[in-house]
Structure 1
Amino acid sequence: MNITVLALDSVFDTGLAAVLDAFTTANELAPMLETPQPSFRVTLAGVRPTVRSAQGMQVPVVPLAQAPVPDLVILPAIGHKMPAPLEAALATPEIADAADVLRSWAGQGVRIAAACIGTFVLAESGLLDGEEATTTRWLTPMFRQRYPQVRLDAQRMVVASGQFVTAGAALSHLDMSLSLIRQASPELAAMVARYLVVDTRPAQSAYVISDHLAHADPLVAAFDRWVRQHLAQGFSLEAAAAALATSKRTLARRLQEVLGKTPVNHVQDLRIERAVHLLKASGQNIDRIAEQVGYRDGVTLQTLLRRKLGKGLREIRN
């Protein structure tokens, strides 16, 4: 399988390394398995002849014209983590040229995968319009506002939709790479995961950074603060709207526009975030923690934690 890893200027060092290491490791481990395994021929290419990483390292790319026709293209993140620098980066000619190249590849049936902030570059091409996708959680409001035609599910770590695969935040580069290897050989992907000591992380919920999301909008930020101050109490949308001098409808609409979820869902996420912190940082039992985050008993909280975090709950409690 021919894979082109498209490195753009200021490529995120960790993401690029994770992708390259995953496929290199797969090739190295393949002979250890009894059955014949796929071979991954990876070419590191650039839209521009000279590429430097976000940490200033020169990336040895080859021109796209010299790269073999790809079966799969992987787009690692670019190293702009905050909205203003990212918006400026997305307006550069290099991103426009990359979008043209991606559209051309997609028209030839090439599969395209992007991780973290690389999902913004893929979305700039318009190829994700109408498709399901995920992205890095702290930039969800920006993604929703900039690409309203994309069916965004920022809870999930990796989303496959048609010929496209998208992955969440920084280290999801590895999750995405393993999912791509798994499509070719589940057995090989399992061995690579064991060798690299990678645990299953189907959701980003355990790594939520609510402040980044909430602060994108003043009303949402105020609601976020109010909820945190009243976390142990039963939630009332009417009381929240009255405290913030707005209507229930306006508050619900703004939460949906900025965070892509209802007020109740956001309250639940904040409760889970606080509960996870208490599980890690205190010796309190689940019933005591439930009281502090607004649930009557530990059974309800534990059910929600299992639903949201899956196997990650066991790791938190251990």
Structure 2
Amino acid sequence: MRLVIFALDGLFDTGLTVLLDTFAMANELAASHGFATEPFDVRLVGVRRRIRTAHGLSTSVEPVSTISRADWVVVPAPGIREPERLIERMQDRDARDAMTYLRSWHADGIGVAAACIGTFLLAETGLLDNREATTTWSLAPFFRQRYPAVNLDDSRMVVASHRVVTAGSAMGHLDLALWLLRQASPELATLVARFMLIDRRSSQAEYIIPDYLAHADPLVARFERWARDNLSLGFSLQAAAAALSVGPRTLQRRTEAVLGKSPLAFFQDLRIERAQHLVSVGYDLEKIASEVGYADSATLRTLLRRRLGRGVRELRAEMR
């Protein structure tokens, strides 16, 4: 598999090194396990001859004009987390040039992929329009507002859609690398994951911090505070809207636009977050159920397992 890692100035150091180290490990293990040749030809390219990472490390890259063939082009994340700075960065000449190359490569049948905040560069090209995609959960509200034509599901770790692949937050670079490994050799991907102690994660959902997302919008932030104060009482859209002095439809539309989910779904997220914390510190399950608005512990047990993939015993064991 011929892979191109498209490196721009100011990229997220860990994202770049995770990609390079994972594919290097794959080639090393392939050589010791009977593969005739190294399965991955990885090249680091850019629109400039040298790039400087977010931490100030400098490295040379091959000129992008030297790339005539590739199976996949991978875009690591820039080392920027603030929406305003990210918008400015995407207007820089090298970023605009990179977008032109990405569109051209995709038109030629080359797969394109991005992880974490690198998905914004991909979305800016228009290649994600009318496709399913994911991004870093922490900037999902901003992503939804800027790219309404993208079918965003920020709960997922990796989303593949017709030779366009996106991966989630920060260490999603690792999940993206493993996804690409599996396309070449599922057996080798499993071997690399075992050697590097990499867990296979299909979802970002349990890592999302609901109140962090809520602060992206003043009304949603107020709703989040109301919801936390009323977890034990259960959810009523009419009661929430009345407490916030807005109409139910306004609250519904705003949470869906910012969070990509209904007020009820967000309320459920807060319930799960609170219940998970109380389980971890040893509270009795009946008391926890009461505190988060459930009539009995059986319902809570079922919900925790369905949403987190683990039961009460496993959650408590993790915190020991």
The interval holding the TM-score normalised by the smaller chain is over 0.9
Show the counterpart of 1:257. 257
Indicate the larger mover: 187-196 or 33-42: 33-42
Range that drifts further, 97-106 or 268-277: 268-277
Q: Is the 8 A contact 2:73 2:111 kept in 1?
A: yes
Query: What is the rounded CA distance, in whole Å, between the counterparts of 1:125 and 1:84 in structure 2?
Result: 18
Aligned residues of 2:133 and 2:160 also touching (Cα < 8 A): yes
Contact 2:231 2:292 in 1 (8 A): yes
Q: Which amino acid aligns with 2:159?
A: V
Q: TM-score, normalised by structure 2?
A: 0.94
Q: Displacement, 1:246?
A: 0.6
Q: Distance between the aligned counterparts of 1:233 and 1:33, measured in 2?
A: 59
Deviation of 1:306 (Å): 2.4
Number of aligned residue pairs: give it: 317
Asked whether the equivalents of residues 37 and 185 of structure 1 are also in contact (C-alpha less than 8 Å), the reply is: no
Taking a change above 3 Å as real, the CA distance of residues 108 and 206 of structure 1, as seen in their structure-2 partners, is same
Counterpart check, 1:266 vs 2:278: no
SS in 1 for 2:231: coil
* Contact 2:39 2:184 (C-alpha < 8 Å) held by counterparts: no
- What's the counterpart of residue 310 of structure 1? 309
Query: What's the % identity of the aligned pairs?
Result: 54
> Does the 8 A contact of 1:208 with 1:273 survive in 2?
no
Q: Which residue of 2 aligns with 1:292?
A: 291
2:300 match: 301
For residues 72 and 37 of structure 1, the distance between their equivalents in structure 2, rounded to whole angstroms, comes to: 19
Aligned counterparts of 2:8 and 2:51: Cα–Cα separation in 1: 6
Q: What's 1:277 paired with?
A: 277
| Map 1:1-318 → 2, pairs under 5 A | 1-33=1-33, 39-280=39-280, 282-310=281-309, 316-318=315-317
Does structure 2 conserve the Cα–Cα contact (< 8 Å) formed by 1:10 and 1:51?
yes
CA contact (8 A) 2:10 2:53 kept: yes
What RMSD over aligned residues (CA atoms) do the two structures have, in Å? 1.8
- Distance verdict in 2 for CA 1:250–1:151, change over 3 Å: same
- CA drift at 1:311: 5.6
In structure 1, give the amino acid aligned to 2:197: V
Distance 1:265 1:37 in 2: 49
Q: CA contact under 8 A between 1:138 and 1:210: conserved in structure 2? A: no
**Structure 1 length as normaliser, TM-score?**
0.94
| Contact 2:155–2:205, Cα closer than 8 Å, also in 1 | yes
How has the CA–CA distance of structure 1 residues 312 and 4 changed in structure 2, closer, same or farther, with 3 Å as cutoff?
A: farther
User: What is the CA-CA distance between 1:37 and the residue it aligns to?
Assistant: 7.5
The SS at the match of 1:42 is strand
